[in-house]
Structure 1
Amino acid sequence: MVKKKRNEVLDIAKGIAIILVVFGHCIQFGNGLEFLERGTFFDDWLFKIIYSFHMPLFMMVSGYFYFFTLTKNSFKELIVSRINKILVPIFVWGGLFTVVTIIGKGGESNVINVIISYVKYSILSLWFLWAVFWCSLIVLFVNRFFKDNIFVYILGFIVTFVITDSLNFSVYKFMYPFFVGGYLYSKNKEKIDKKILIVKVEHLLIGLFVLYILLIFNFERSSFIYTSGYTIIGINMINQIYINLFRLFIGLFGSVFILLLINFLIKKYGYRKVYLISKLGKESLGIYIISGYLILILSRFTPDLKLNYLINIVETFAILVLSYFFTILLSQFNVTNKFLFGGR
């Protein structure tokens, strides 16, 4: 694919991923308090499908784009860029959420509690951005000091099994191989594509779909990173390694299938038919952040509902529209665009 075409595929992929993010959250938070508090959503078949690959897909695309960022900037520029584009928005949104929370409690809160709440929200919220931040620093380090040595990346993957899961590190470690995979594919795209082209795309799609189906039927509550964690220290080591590898492969098969399918359909039917999805993809960062707050508001209006996918679709549509609108609006001003979205 030429560069323009490649970007279309990735914009659509991000659009699909952000739709699934919002839809998954609506299933979790928009079907009543009992459904949420009992964790019944973990047993929902559609929720399982969404969560088996939607964040790995996002992470692969992020890694893919990071290759171009890395090749165009110096080491110092990349560090500054990571701070401005990721950490600044994280801590600004953390501050805004802290202020809103204090106001919601009537404004009564001492300084110590405010600081603790701010640090807590900033560190534990927007975990995907934190994952991109840590993964991009690792890739930057390996690229600059080890020339992207594949064995160093593999060693990093092995090390993730013994690092603590505290402070959301479980999800960061889960995202690591997908970010690195997207980055390495972007770097070696021509070589990889030549090898892939010897197999018909249709055959690849069928093979990936079959593999994914075989795995999704074995996707259990323990397969979620949120329920079983990642580290192998202090638990059943063999079982945890199996769970980690299972998540890796189902996320990989699902993500690559979606990317190949998008490329295949665009070549066959054209780009304009999914133009709106690509628009969502281009604004996926803002939608990801703002929709998270709208979801919290949604849960307060749906305490007595029961599981209903039709209602979830309506909720998803409403939140996507509002999130997109506020993202576009806030992006129009330099100050809000810089501090809320990293100046993208």
Structure 2
Amino acid sequence: MAANRRLPYPDIVRGFAIILVVLGHCIQMGSGAAYYEASAFYDDRLYQFIYSFHMPLFMLISGYFAAFSMERADRTGTWRQLLARRARQFLIPIAFWTLFEIAVTFVRTLVQIPADDPVFRDKAVGLVKIELAAIPTHFVNELWFLWAILWSLLAVSLVRRVFRDSLMIYAVLELLMLLVPDALNAGVYKYVFSFFLLGYLCAANGSVQHLFEKIKGEALGRWRYVVFSGIIFAVAFLFFHKDTMIYLSGYRVLWGEWKLIAIPIVRNAYRFAIGMAGSVFFLILFWQLFRVPDRGFRSAAAKVLEALGRETMGIYILSSYYIIFGIHELTKKVTPSYALNLFEAAIALLLSYGTARLLGRIPGLRRTIGK
């Protein structure tokens, strides 16, 4: 294999994870207006299944490969370039698509005002002021997963550079996160940071990496490990309910009665455990399925997943808007159906993948999808 050949396995896993992201969004916003407005998707078991591990899986992979970028920056003295490149990679898409969403929302609202309305101009000006005032809020809230990766990368980079990857500092950082308020999406940032950090430490620690390579070569090729990890994940999922989800219960520990302290700690520990259990199960499963080239269905599936995995940022961004402005608007009167959600997800994936590929070939727009 050529030295610069990109390994397919991580992209295959990313491809699987991005399918889950899109499907989860379709369950949420493509199952009818009543279903969405009542937040009934939080009670949906497939939705809960997806959200029990798909973000941890993404962050484990992101943290793992971030370690190699940092190691290369150490060797070549290119830390400034690395951080500047990563900042551009995430902040440009966030800024561009924030303005895009605000512009689309403005136009959609404006066209609903009758052209012969005697105060049309005043309403239009007022609408402009509202949308301009909303830019800061949209900027820090839209595409939150990109923010999560960026903040995790910056935090780990700081500890690596200043404290030489001190495990004590990482432990203190994790404890402090329990006390920081969950405002401005901080709750989800803190939740996924632990997985980014664990993925990073697995790669940064030579002995851990050696053990991982040994296990990958010997243990992951045995189906009993797939079954064992799957059983652990299945048992853990039995206890998952909507209040377990980070969006509803948050991350912060509140002071006062002992329950306000104990319950968030136990809930965070459980979320971490099930996120790890699901991630490990699918990492092992996909290694077992795709570690050996195959000319049949597995080969075709691997190619599809790998292609999607190479465009995860673009798909994540674009599918969000195809679903919000397209699928969500077209399915307001439907009844919830997994068959419909799967169809919606397939359409959203095809459209967002094709658009991402197109934007990736246009020099002026490549950076809007992190290229």
Q: TM-score range by the shorter chain?
A: over 0.9
- 1:242-281 to structure 2, matched below 5 A, reads 242-268=266-292, 270=294, 272-273=299-300, 274-281=302-309
Distance apart, 1:127 and its partner CA: 0.4
**Which residue of 1 is the match for residue 178 of structure 2?**
161
Seen in structure 2, the aligned counterparts of structure 1 residues 10 and 196 have a Cα distance that, compared at 3 Å, is closer
Answer 1 or 2: which has greater helix percent. 1
> What is the CA–CA distance in structure 1 between the aligned matches of 2:198 and 2:363, rounded to whole Å?
33
Distance apart, 1:102 and its partner CA: 1.3
- The alignment partner of 1:167 has SS state of coil
Q: Which amino acid aligns with 1:99?
A: A
**Which residue of 2 is the match for residue 39 of structure 1?**
39
**Which residue of 1 is the match for residue 30 of structure 2?**
30
Q: Which amino acid aligns with 1:157?
A: E
Seen in structure 2, the aligned counterparts of structure 1 residues 120 and 109 have a Cα distance that, compared at 3 Å, is farther
**Which residue of 2 is the match for residue 75 of structure 1?**
79
C-alpha offsets along residues 265-320 of structure 1, whole Å, 9 cap, x if unaligned? 11245473311111001001000000001111211111111111111111010000
> What is the CA–CA distance in structure 1 between the aligned matches of 2:14 and 2:96, rounded to whole Å?
24
Aligned positions, number: 342
> What is the CA–CA distance in structure 2 between the aligned matches of 1:3 and 1:47, rounded to whole Å?
40
**Which residue of 1 is the match for residue 369 of structure 2?**
341
- 1:231-246 to structure 2, matched below 5 A, reads 231-234=252-255, 236-246=260-270
**Which residue of 1 is the match for residue 145 of structure 2?**
128
**Which residue of 1 is the match for residue 338 of structure 2?**
309
Distance apart, 1:28 and its partner CA: 0.9
Is the 8 Å Cα contact of residues 61 and 179 (structure 1) preserved in structure 2? yes
How does the TM-score come out when normalised to structure 2?
0.87
**Which residue of 2 is the match for residue 215 of structure 1?**
236
> What is the CA–CA distance in structure 2 between the aligned matches of 1:269 and 1:341, rounded to whole Å?
30
Distance apart, 1:263 and its partner CA: 1.0
Q: Which amino acid aligns with 1:239?
A: I
Is 2:35 the partner of 1:56?
Answer: no
Q: Which amino acid aligns with 1:101?
A: T
> What is the CA–CA distance in structure 1 between the aligned matches of 2:217 and 2:68, rounded to whole Å?
24
Q: 1:104 aligns with which of 104, 108, 116?
A: 108
Distance apart, 1:249 and its partner CA: 0.7
Is the 8 Å Cα contact of residues 9 and 259 (structure 1) preserved in structure 2? no
How does the TM-score come out when normalised to structure 1?
0.93
Q: How large is the RMSD of aligned CA atoms in angstroms?
A: 2.1
Distance apart, 1:112 and its partner CA: 4.2
Q: Which amino acid aligns with 2:165?
A: D
Is the 8 Å Cα contact of residues 32 and 307 (structure 1) preserved in structure 2? yes
Question: Higher Cα Rg: structure 1 or 2?
Answer: 2
Is 2:197 the partner of 1:180?
Answer: yes
Distance apart, 1:207 and its partner CA: 2.3
Percent sequence identity over aligned pairs: 33
Where structure 1 has 5 or more consecutive residues not aligned to the other structure, the ranges are: none
**Which residue of 1 is the match for residue 249 of structure 2?**
228
Where structure 2 has 5 or more consecutive residues not aligned to the other structure, the ranges are: 112-123
**Which residue of 2 is the match for residue 288 of structure 1?**
316
Distance apart, 1:7 and its partner CA: 2.6
Is the 8 Å Cα contact of residues 102 and 109 (structure 1) preserved in structure 2? no
Q: 1:95 aligns with which of 99, 102, 126?
A: 99
Distance apart, 1:78 and its partner CA: 2.4
> What is the CA–CA distance in structure 2 between the aligned matches of 1:89 and 1:6, rounded to whole Å?
24
Seen in structure 2, the aligned counterparts of structure 1 residues 272 and 294 have a Cα distance that, compared at 3 Å, is same
**Which residue of 2 is the match for residue 18 of structure 1?**
18
C-alpha offsets along residues 177-224 of structure 1, whole Å, 9 cap, x if unaligned? 111111122223224333676756433322221111111111011011
> What is the CA–CA distance in structure 1 between the aligned matches of 2:226 and 2:185, rounded to whole Å?
33
> What is the CA–CA distance in structure 2 between the aligned matches of 1:166 and 1:119, rounded to whole Å?
14
Q: Which amino acid aligns with 2:343?
A: V
> What is the CA–CA distance in structure 2 between the aligned matches of 1:32 and 1:231, rounded to whole Å?
32
Is the 8 Å Cα contact of residues 142 and 152 (structure 1) preserved in structure 2? yes
C-alpha offsets along residues 24-79 of structure 1, whole Å, 9 cap, x if unaligned? 11111111111111111111111111110111111111112211221223231122
Moved more, 266-275 or 74-83: 266-275
Distance apart, 1:118 and its partner CA: 1.4
Moved more, 232-241 or 14-23: 232-241
> What is the CA–CA distance in structure 2 between the aligned matches of 1:319 and 1:71, rounded to whole Å?
37
> What is the CA–CA distance in structure 2 between the aligned matches of 1:311 and 1:152, rounded to whole Å?
48
- The alignment partner of 1:166 has SS state of coil
